[in-house]
Structure 1
Amino acid sequence: MSEALQKAYEIMQSRVGEMTSQSEWFEITQERVNDYADVSMDHQWIHVDVERAKDKSPFGAPIAHGNL
């Protein structure tokens, strides 16, 4: 492991459990999921195809992208 990588690892490890930032809550709507799919180019059906997700998803509905 390079010295720079080792230093970065040590810094990250020292901050485990520390809250670095927090945003306000906001509602995740299907429109927001679709907009995110557009900018991320991730149009997997489980996110954007409401009817297919109702039928085929184990959740019974679309799921939001993890980054939302």
Structure 2
Amino acid sequence: MELIDQVSINALSKKDLLLILKALEYTHENTGLEDFIDLRNSIVKEICFLTETAEIDFINYLESNN
């Protein structure tokens, strides 16, 4: 189980990360379950904090060249 602590998003491409975020948004919109949008927002918030990037800049970066 110690390997789970080392899981990261380093291996995810921009396209894959954007797809995950969009899937969470879509699922929230179609189910009304807040857990999905909360998870999406949590992921974005954490990545923006770690990269010192504004959310809009991060999303624009992911959407560029896709």
Q: In which range does the TM-score fall when normalised by the shorter chain? A: under 0.3
Q: Which has the larger radius of gyration?
A: 1
- TM-score, structure 1 length as denominator? 0.26
Structure with greater proportional helix content:
2
TM-score by length of 2: 0.26
Task: Name the structure, 1 or 2, with higher relative contact order (CA <8 Å, separation 6+).
Answer: 2
